[in-house]
Amino acid sequence: MDLDINGSMNRKLLDQTLRTYLLYSIGILVVSAPIFYFISSSLYLNETDEALLLHKKEFNQLVAPFLKRDDVLIWNKYNRDVKILPFRLLRRDSMFNKTYLDSLENENEPYRELNAIVTIEGKPFVYSEKTNLVESEDLIESVVWLFFVMIISMLAGLIAITKRLSNKLWKPFYQTLDLIGNFEIDKEKSIEWPESQIEEFNRLNQSISKLVNRNHQIFKTQKEFVENAAHELQTPLAVFQARLDVLMQESGFSETQNEILNSLNENLSRLNRLNRNLLLLSKLDNESALQREKISIAQRIEKHLEFFHEQAQPKNLSFDIQLDTVREIMANAALFDVLLRNLLLNAVRHNQTNGSIHIELNPNGLCISNTGKGTPLSSDQLFQRFSKSDSSETGTGLGLAIVKRIAELHRWSIEYKFENDLHSFLICF
């Protein structure tokens, strides 16, 4: 049994079936065993009664007419089980169970007894015959045991067979479950199903295949759309840029016109950045196997520091850099640079005047933290595409999405924390 997310119990299909079978069988056993016992013992009693009555009839027809009254004593002397007793009033033939002490074994044994009125030489006597029931009890006991053994072995067999058969029958289903569970829409095109003899499973697999294919198609189209859109935008953007560069060379613009041109330039520059980042992101989305090489993290960071020192100057930011650990990792160098640049630029961009930036490389990983807004950012939205902490920002809103995707491609973990007034990003390699 597995516990699912909500904490409720999930039973396996097979266990569920077996459980039901088992409960039913036990129920039948419990109810039927006593019934069976009573029926068999009452049947036996019936048989005994009939035998007793038959004996009495035989006695009446074959023995009584020839028996003398004086012979009664002798009869009683030599007959242990059939006695002729002095007359006492009996309504009719009566049969009952009675216990007698067995003198041989010295224990009480159950007997069935018949008392009836017989006439010997015209005088009424009581005919009393008893039959030992011990044998019948033994018989019933044996029968009940036999019944038990039969039921139990039948049940065990049933469980074993059901289990084996179900396991075999449901195997394709579990295989299907595993395959769907492991399916990654951005990596695989379709699912290869194992052959199944069972129509329902084949139908299930076909339906899932259809669904997967359709989803994959949609996913692909969407990815291609972003990539194509970004690509198609490049030529008009290039024309726009070139035209603007030429226009700027014209003389005689007023200051207002210059400002408009400048604004066009800035926004075009932003548009270009956005477009290139979109292209990069869609390229990363399509990427599965990266070309990797051995790189030294500390070296890569140092390479970028000059630039960021310069960028940090207007805000008078201080850097606290601890690159003690010599750490070499297998990574795509170009993408690692993109990741570093995005994180460092973020640390500069979202910083406050006279703030600080901390870069720490330790055996755990790389931690880049910065001072800034005094409230934590929403770590859910942080890595989403086009999420910005405030709308006045000029960033593309894609930087952290790119960082996350690069980390994913390298199978690194990245997390955001807000501690001691520091916004930190920790990457574990």
Interface residues with another protein (CB under 8 A)? 231, 234-235, 237-243, 245-246, 248-249, 253, 255, 258-259, 261-262, 265-266, 268-270, 272-273, 276-277, 279-280, 283, 307, 310-311, 313-314, 334, 337, 341-342, 345, 349, 394-396, 399
- Please give the structure tokens belonging to residue 317: 């930011």
Number of H helices, E strands in the chain: 9, 13
User: Burial of 25 by CB count in 10 Å (0-12 exposed, 13-18 middle, 19+ buried)?
Assistant: middle
Task: Closer to another protein by CB, 234 or 296: give it.
Answer: 234
Q: Which is nearer to another protein, 61 or 235 (CB)?
A: 235
Compute the least distance from the CB of residue 181 to another protein, in Å.
34
CB nearer to another protein: give 86 or 314.
Answer: 314
Considering beta carbons, is residue 63 or 295 the nearer one to another protein?
Answer: 295
Nearest distance from C-beta of residue 292 to another protein, angstroms: 14
Query: Cβ closer to another protein: 163 or 231?
Result: 231
* Token reading at 162: 């059901």
* Torsion angle in degrees (nearest 10) through CA of 303, 309, 311, 313: -170
Q: Which is nearer to another protein, 45 or 345 (CB)?
A: 345
Place of tokens 């492991």: 182
Dihedral sign for Cα 47, 53, 57, 58, please.
positive
Q: In the complex, what is the shortest distance from the CB of residue 344 to another protein, in angstroms, rounded to a whole number?
A: 10
What residues have CB less than 8 Å from 295, skipping those under 6 apart?
328, 329, 330, 331, 333, 336
Query: How does 94-110 read in b/e, with b if 16+ C-beta sit within 10 Å?
Result: eeeeeeeeeeeeeeeee
In 3D space, the residue among 299, 286, 187, 186 whose CA is nearest the CA of residue 231 turns out to be 286
Q: Compute the least distance from the CB of residue 327 to another protein, in Å.
A: 23
